Amino acid sequence: MVSDQIKETEQLEDIREIVEKIGSTRADLIPVLQEITNKFGYISQLAIKELSDLMSLPTKEILSVATFYRMLSTQPRGEHIIQFCESAPCHVVGGREVFSALQDALGLEPGQTSADNKWTLLTTSCLGVCGIGPVILVDTDMYGNVTSDQVKNILSRYD
Amino acid sequence: MDLARVLINFFRVESCGKCTPCRIGTKRAHDLLEGISRGKGTLEDLDSLQALSQELLELSNCGLGQTAGTPIKDMLAYFRAEVEAHIRLGICPVGVCPMHD
Amino acid sequence: MTKLTINGIEIEAESNWTILKAAEHADITIPTLCYHKDLSPTGACRMCLVSVKGAKGLVTACTTPVSEGMEIQTENEALTSSRQSVLKLLLSVYHDKGYKPDETDNELFQWARHYGLDPYAFMSSKARYEVDSDPNPFIFVDMNKCILCTRCVRACSEIQGRFVWGVSERGFDSRIVAGMDEDMLDARCESCGACVAYCPTGALSLKPTINIGPAEKKVTTTCNYCGVGCQFDLNVIDDKVVRVTSNPAAPANGMHLCVKGRFGFSFVHHSDRLTKPLVREYLLKGEARPANKADRGNWVETSWDTALDIVADKLVAARDTFGPDSVGVLSSAKCTNEENYLMNKFGRQVIGTNNVDHCARLCHSSTVAGLATALGSGAMTNPMNDIYENANSILVIGSNTTEQHPVFGAKMRQAVLNRNVQLVVADPRRIELCEFAVMHIQQKPGTDIALINGLVNIILEKGYEDKSFIEERTENFDDFVENIKKYPPEKVSQITGVPVSQLYQAVEIMVKNAPLAVFWAMGITQHTVGVHNVFALADLQMVLGNFGIPGSGVNPLRGQNNVQGACDMGCLVNVYPGYQAVTVEAAQQKFEAAWGTTLSNKVGRTVTELIPDVIEGKTKALYILGENPAMTDPDSNHVRHCLEELDFMVLQDIFPTETSAYADVLLPGVTFAEKTGTYTNTERKVQMVRQAISERGDARQDWEITAVIAKKVIARGGREINEAPYSSWDYADSGEIMAEVAALTPSYGGISHQRLNAGEVLCWPCPDPTHPGTPILHIGKFTRGKGNLIPAIHVDPSELPDKDYPMMLTTGRVIYHWHSGEQTRRVKELLEIYGEALIEISPEDAAVIGLNEEINKVKVTSRRGEIIAHAWVTNRVPEGLIYGNFHFPESNINYLTKAALDPIAKIPEYKVSAVKIVAV
Ligand code: SF4
Ligand code: SF4
Ligand code: SF4
Ligand code: FES
Ligand code: FES
């Protein structure tokens, strides 16, 4: 309880800093939310409430933006976020098999987070590097021309 | 057929959700294609898909929804036999669709 | 002008119109779902697609502007099929759990049927969401019926200014959520129900009467809570009011209502309703009153005749033994004009006294007196819609508008959001409206005159005054300036606690954004300097020339639904109907001739005098209609003591109230849903109240009760009343009473039920049957001729904090309740939201007295009494000030308030008392 409160206070301080750094106009909302996602992994209700005060925006508007963009999240996510490209160019060069392998290795459906909080599996639309599909993005590391047997190896780099 | 499904999925996922045809139409089309790929399609589904592709084009608000029908239309124009095989024969001629749940 | 054709018909349109607007203009209907004329267009649902010659594809009529030479088709086979497609898609995600709908067909169903589709055939069988997913007691949320038209989102943001609803996620997953996906009330919902009113599918509906089914009949009537005067439709099933629905034609409010208007009607059917006349046992037995004054004995049900005979006997006895002025007649601002007129006639004609008063004494008597002296007419000068459309700045001083006049409060928010009107709030509390204000002036309670004079001082210093207006339309400028000189900014800052720089900024805002409209309410009037407060505000607007033009004026927001009307009808001690003074011989003669009797020319005693005067034996009997002085008058302990001593009280009301403990006869009247008549709203609009259901039990029309008592008193003799044009008490209906009002009241001369029922919107003055009414007062000339610039003089409140009572107390209401709470405390859902009186206290003071999670009650004591209540720790109040309300008998703040009166208006100083406070 006490430690929760301390965490909350710290989180609020960080949020204030972020807004101070980036700005508090409507146009700053997306960068601010991005920064909060980066920092805390997700945008909590506490964060939305605080931003609503700091930026004089209704909470519903912040929630709309926070849930609209895939790069933002209002749900806690795992330590590592795996994004798998499900668009056609990647799909036709073997994406389907790679994705099955990925799902088997993790035991996760798209959108789920592993019980140990290590992984979150997401699907995404084209990442803009179709030339090297199938493509997996783990956090900020991009893997191209992935085959099914490489999947385990890629994951093991994050142990 | 599989490709059309994947393409439609793209539009479904990227639809902003504002206008009716795009928000619901892409979902409907995807559901139907999903069904066909799992061996559950009917020939009426193809008529529905044809109609949906037209509605998406005519009724959507922006380019995304308007384009979303194109893969279906092309699929039905150029690969109808392949699609019908899923329905009539219960097989996927190119062997990529699961054809079961 | 733009020329175009729709379906071959040539149309001339304004160039900023949309195709839809042009079509409407030509009486061509285009189907719509996401569009609503009150809301910004969005083009989401695609129902309104039309074909335009030469355009690429179809276009949405609701968002596409017209252009020269357009050729538009709104109906053809292809369009029908595209609309069918849209409807089928929408229905494919519509799931109906089977609750009976409020209307037979919602808009979605209507269009589906219009295009030949059976909605039930195309519906989804699967629910995607929980039904009744929000705990708000008023609003039933079933997102399975949502078509994502976003009307609710826009209604909440654009109409109510509350930003509760939003859209979360995207694509097929998009859904409507409150705030950050939380309960509506947590997302700051005020339960106004606008979102429900605009929802075209029933995804949002009215929870208290869910599953009751469509109304058998709808009756358009006027709200019985505040002076905004909203109109709406009472929905009736089986002679019971089951719900309230918006009526788009309502003049003051359109579709909008507040939580009380939309949901606060169930008191009508509460089991506490009085349905039989009650008299005390001692009266029936013909005995003397019980020796114990605190207890008048048992109530016994009796016939109307018996009860009214007793009333007549007692009133006649008091009148004939102690003189007419021993009797007081207290009328009611809750009742209709017709009923109030009769109370005035009863007191003056039948009893022969001017002791006719009502609760306006406690709210705006200082406004009426102040404005009548300064301008000649004591009412709001400009209609709200005019101000919404034309004011460029607004000063709200001493009015918590969003809670007390919620629909006007919402209009103010809209003015700020849509027109960027510069809003200045002057209030000791940080009221909700401050969120929308460019400036919040937080003056100390009781320093308004200093504040306003200080602003005028700066205006004169800067030369911002409207010299030609002052020259042509006002008098007394020199005296006035002498007084203003005594209020230089530094001194004003000292008195008010407002920084000098803020005073200068406020002046800049108001001057640079003319016209300025000024609003006030109880924060100005309920002071011992109430009348001078009003002078100061009238002066400010005269100096700035803000009179007689759109978007300007002085605008006192009248509290009760018909407090304007009750004043207009002469329920004041000094005037006949239409403010014709009892002291003016011509007026006296006019009414003597009309009513066939001799009348008193002596100003009567006010309610704040009549009750205390009981102790001195000057008041013997009271006839009270729908008022609850034991709750609402200041210093309740003393009021109750006086009422105990009173010889005889007849009380006519709908419920037994705190005051009925002191009554000898209790007469069951009827609620607004059971009567026909008129209310006059704060904008001077006279509006119809229409009977929707029959009288409950043996309750009778209030006007009839008064008329029967009058006839019985007259029949007992003792006062000569002759045949005269309006001497009689035989009325067939309330319309005939209005005809009498019109004949005797110049400002109501042209007002009749017929005109109102024909749909006319009439603001008085409306002198004759062809006159269109007068929405804006004082155009070109003040009612009294020249505006009187009266020096307003600051005097400290009668009681200030000292070492024994170190805190200041100010009082008021909250949005969910009405006055003594007789009605709203009998609405279950309102109690669910706000179920007990809370004392607002600042976090600083809370810390000082040691409030925390466990210790959360406070005992508040003044020189006159004490109450205990839960505390609400909030920065709405500054350090040193607490705020309480008078809605709940157990913790009624009026045990603490002081009966210090304004010397002119006799209004009590509710707004400042000294108290001490401890945590308990
Ligand atoms: S009831 Fe009023 S305040 Fe509440 S969500 Fe609906 S529109 Fe907004
Ligand atoms: S709840 Fe009603 S008003 Fe709101 S988006 Fe859904 S259908 Fe439209
Ligand atoms: S604003 Fe006043 S008149 Fe309108 S609904 Fe609310 S209480 Fe009734
Ligand atoms: S399709 Fe996968 S990166 Fe473009
Ligand atoms: S009414 Fe025009 S798009 Fe909905």
From the CA of C139, how many Å to the nearest CA of chain A? 18
Q: Is C195 in the pocket of ligand 1 (CB under 6 A)?
A: yes
For residues C150 and C187, state if they share a domain: yes
Residues C534 and C378: beta-carbon distance below 8 Å:
no
Band (pLDDT 50/70/90 cuts) for residue C547 is very high
**Three-state secondary structure call for residue C226:** strand
Query: What residue ranges in C7-135 does DSSP mark as E strands?
Result: 9-13, 49-52, 59-60, 71-73
For residue A73, is it within any domain?
A: no
CB neighbour list of residue C402: distance below 8 Å, 6 or more residues apart: C409, C410, C412, C413, C431, C432, C433, C815
Given the structure tokens 């206290």, which residue do they identify?
C841
Q: Which two tokens stand for residue C173?
A: 């997953």
Model pTM? 0.91
Band (pLDDT 50/70/90 cuts) for residue C319 is very high
Domain count, chain B: 1
* Domain CATH code at residue A88: 3.40.30.10
A65/B contact by beta carbon, under 8 A: no
* Domain CATH code at residue B50: 1.20.1440.230
Q: Is C315 in the pocket of ligand 3 (CB under 6 A)?
A: no
For residues A86 and A152, state if they share a domain: yes
Give the model confidence (pLDDT) of C172-230 as tens digits: 899 999 999 999 999 999 999 999 999 999 999 999 988 999 999 999 999 999 999 99
Q: Which two tokens stand for residue A34?
A: 């991005």
Whole-number pLDDT of residue A5: 63
Q: Is C225 exposed, middle or buried (0-12, 13-18, 19+ CB in 10 A)?
A: buried
User: How far apart are the C-alpha atoms of C734 and C521, rounded to whole Å?
Assistant: 31
Final residue belonging to a domain, choices A41, A68, A95: A68
For residue C778, is it within any domain?
A: no
Max distance between CA atoms of chain A, in angstroms, equals: 53
Q: What is the DSSP string of C664-728?
A: SEEEE---GGG--EEEE-TT-EEEEE---SPPSTT---HHHHHHHHHHHHHHT-SS-----TT--
Whole-number pLDDT of residue C529: 87
C811 beta partners: C884
For residue B95, is it within any domain?
A: no
For residues C350 and C411, state if they share a domain: no
For residues C537 and C566, state if they share a domain: no
Closest chain B CA to residue A64: B16
Residues found in chain A: 159
For residues C412 and C529, state if they share a domain: yes
Whole-number pLDDT of residue C657: 86
Give the model confidence (pLDDT) of C157-179 as tens digits: 999 999 999 999 888 899 999 99
| C-alpha closest to that of C530 among C701, C394, C400, C364 | C364
- Lowest-pLDDT choice from C523-532, C534-543, C695-704: C523-532
| C-alpha closest to that of B96 among A89, A150, A91 | A91
Residues C826 and C267: beta-carbon distance below 8 Å:
yes
Residues C399 and C520: beta-carbon distance below 8 Å:
yes
For residues A8 and A56, state if they share a domain: yes
Q: Which two tokens stand for residue C456?
A: 């005028």
User: How far apart are the C-alpha atoms of C459 and C465, rounded to whole Å?
Assistant: 6
Closest chain A CA to residue B7: A88
* Domain CATH code at residue C666: 3.40.50.740
CB-CB under 8 Å, B16 with A91? no
Q: What residues 26-55 of chain C have any CB closer than 8 A to a CB of chain B? A: 42-46, 49
Final residue belonging to a domain, choices C694, C725, C756: C725
Band (pLDDT 50/70/90 cuts) for residue C141 is very high
Band (pLDDT 50/70/90 cuts) for residue A3 is low
CB-CB under 8 Å, A125 with B14? yes
Structural domain boundaries enclosing C847: 807-919
| C-alpha closest to that of C381 among C168, C156, C494, C534 | C534
* Domain CATH code at residue C490: 3.40.228.10
**Three-state secondary structure call for residue C517:** strand
For residues A85 and A145, state if they share a domain: yes
Report CA-CA distances (Å) from C235 to C100, C104, C215: 15, 13, 5
H-only helix segments in C799-870: 828-833, 843-849
Structural domain boundaries enclosing A28: 2-68
- Over chain B, what is the mean pLDDT? 89
For residue B83, is it within any domain?
A: yes
Whole-number pLDDT of residue C840: 92
For residue C741, is it within any domain?
A: no
Q: Assess whether pLDDT exceeds 60 at residue A2.
A: no
DSSP structural state of residue C845: H
For residue C789, is it within any domain?
A: no
From the CA of C93, how many Å to the nearest CA of chain B? 8
- Over chain C, what is the mean pLDDT? 92
Question: Chain A to chain B, count of Cβ pairs less than 8 Å apart?
Answer: 22
User: How far apart are the C-alpha atoms of A104 and C646, rounded to whole Å?
Assistant: 89
For residues C327 and C394, state if they share a domain: no
Q: Assess whether pLDDT exceeds 60 at residue A130.
A: yes
User: How far apart are the C-alpha atoms of C310 and C378, rounded to whole Å?
Assistant: 39
For residues A105 and A141, state if they share a domain: yes
For residues C466 and C614, state if they share a domain: no
Torsion of CA C435, C441, C447, C449, to 10 degrees: -110
CB-CB under 8 Å, A62 with C163? no
User: How far apart are the C-alpha atoms of C124 and C147, rounded to whole Å?
Assistant: 12
For residue A75, is it within any domain?
A: no
Final residue belonging to a domain, choices A68, A93, A109: A68
Q: Assess whether pLDDT exceeds 80 at residue B101.
A: no
| C-alpha closest to that of C380 among C773, C743, C778, C61 | C778
Mean pLDDT of C2-29: 93
For residue A46, is it within any domain?
A: yes
Domain count, chain C: 5
The top-scoring range by mean pLDDT among A80-84, A137-141, C389-393 is C389-393
Q: Which two tokens stand for residue C179?
A: 């705030």
Band (pLDDT 50/70/90 cuts) for residue A4 is low
| C-alpha closest to that of C335 among C737, C717, C911 | C737
Torsion of CA C684, C688, C691, C697, to 10 degrees: 20
**Which residues from C are below 8 Å from B59, CB to CB?**
46, 49, 58, 82, 85-86
Final residue belonging to a domain, choices A19, A48, A68: A68
User: How far apart are the C-alpha atoms of C597 and C353, rounded to whole Å?
Assistant: 12
For residues C330 and C453, state if they share a domain: no
Q: Which two tokens stand for residue C29?
A: 């209907």
Give the model confidence (pLDDT) of A52-97 as tens digits: 999 989 999 999 999 998 888 888 888 898 999 988 888 888 888 8
Domain count, chain A: 2
Nearest C-alpha to atom 4 of ligand 3 is from which residue?
C230
Phi-psi region of C350 (alpha: psi -120 to 50; beta: other; left: phi over 0): alpha
For residues C402 and C501, state if they share a domain: yes
Closest chain A CA to residue B18: A68
How many whole angstroms from its chain centre is CA C706? 26
For residues C466 and C533, state if they share a domain: yes
Q: Which two tokens stand for residue C108?
A: 């979605």
Sheet holding A136-138, edge to edge: A119-124, A80-85, A136-138, A141-143
Q: Which two tokens stand for residue C777?
A: 């007062």
| C-alpha closest to that of A96 among A88, C538, A130 | A88
Given the structure tokens 């910004």, which residue do they identify?
C40
Q: Is C631 in the pocket of ligand 1 (CB under 6 A)?
A: no
Whole-number pLDDT of residue A6: 64
Structural domain boundaries enclosing B14: 2-88
- Look at C530 and A6; give whichever has higher pLDDT: C530
Phi/psi at C366 (nearest 5 deg)?
A: -70, -35
B55/C contact by beta carbon, under 8 A: yes
Q: Assess whether pLDDT exceeds 90 at residue C637.
A: no
Nearest C-alpha to atom 4 of ligand 1 is from which residue?
C189
For residue A15, is it within any domain?
A: yes
Band (pLDDT 50/70/90 cuts) for residue A11 is confident
For residue B94, is it within any domain?
A: no
For residues A92 and A152, state if they share a domain: yes
> Ligand 3, closest atom to CA C258?
6
Give the model confidence (pLDDT) of C412-437 as tens digits: 999 999 999 999 999 999 999 999 99
Residues found in chain C: 920
CB-CB under 8 Å, B17 with C46? no
For residues C197 and C149, state if they share a domain: yes
A126/B contact by beta carbon, under 8 A: yes
Band (pLDDT 50/70/90 cuts) for residue A1 is very low
DSSP structural state of residue B23: I
User: How far apart are the C-alpha atoms of C608 and C661, rounded to whole Å?
Assistant: 19
For residue C731, is it within any domain?
A: no
Q: Residue C67: what residue type? A: S
Mean pLDDT of C691-712: 95
For residues C604 and C718, state if they share a domain: yes
For residue C88, is it within any domain?
A: no
Q: Which of C57, C89, C93 is the closest to B21 by Cβ?
A: C89
Report CA-CA distances (Å) from C156 to C99, C246, C251, C385, C485: 25, 15, 20, 19, 47
For residue A92, is it within any domain?
A: yes
For residue C890, is it within any domain?
A: yes
For residues A113 and A138, state if they share a domain: yes
Band (pLDDT 50/70/90 cuts) for residue C782 is confident
